[in-house]
Structure 1
């Protein structure tokens, strides 16, 4: 039995061997070289793509950092503006402004009345003074 197996094994080798012609070997080697070149090109493209992605990620990180800095700056400016508006009274509603204006008008009216009273008093004092001077002149 082992002889029979060896004979079929040898026959299979003989049958497979002559099918590979030199042209087939050349064509196969050329195809393998093409595939190797394609794979190397793909590898280079992948490396370049990875480099481009790294550069893009770095650019995005820098942009994000800049945007965050700008946002922080805007927040600071906004807080300063709100504070200055509060101290200047610009952040009030129209009703609050009306109340403030009314209060100021009331103060103005009060000062105006006091001024008129003082003016009237001064005029009365001046008249009294003139009359007293006239009386003194007459009595002399």
Structure 2
């Protein structure tokens, strides 16, 4: 059977052997967890960008047509 003092001493002894992290040369977690996109993801992003650019061009054309119609109607 052990005493309370022995248990406290034993807990301190075990915890003293655990190295504490050094913050001197530590880097942020984001640097350690860099995610490299796969080729498939890159292709999907490029296709999405092209589609968005096409949609934007279409909207610009529609806006110009609407503006011209409004001007011709005297609005």
- TM-score of the superposition, structure 1-length normalised? 0.34
Partner residue of 1:82?
none
List structure 1 segments (4+ residues) > 3 angstroms apart after TM superposition.
7-10
> Unaligned regions of 5+ residues in structure 2, if any?
1-22
SS at match of 1:42: helix
Q: How many residue pairs get matched? A: 53
1:21 to 38, 41, 56: 38
Q: Determine which structure has the larger helix proportion and give its number.
A: 1
The structure with the largest alpha-carbon Rg is 1
1:41 has 2:63 as partner: no
* CA root-mean-square deviation: 1.9
> Unaligned regions of 5+ residues in structure 1, if any?
59-140
Cα distance change, pair 45–7 in 1 and its aligned pair in 2 (3 A): closer
Cα distance change, pair 38–7 in 1 and its aligned pair in 2 (3 A): closer
Shift, 1:7, TM fit: 6.5
Shift, 1:10, TM fit: 3.2
Q: Aligned runs of 1:60-139 on 2, under 5 Å? A: none
2:69 to 42, 48, 52: 52
SS at match of 1:3: coil
Shift, 1:45, TM fit: 0.3
2:48 to 14, 31, 48: 31
Between 1 and 2, higher relative CO (CA 8 Å, sep ≥ 6) is seen in 1
Cα distance change, pair 9–46 in 1 and its aligned pair in 2 (3 A): closer
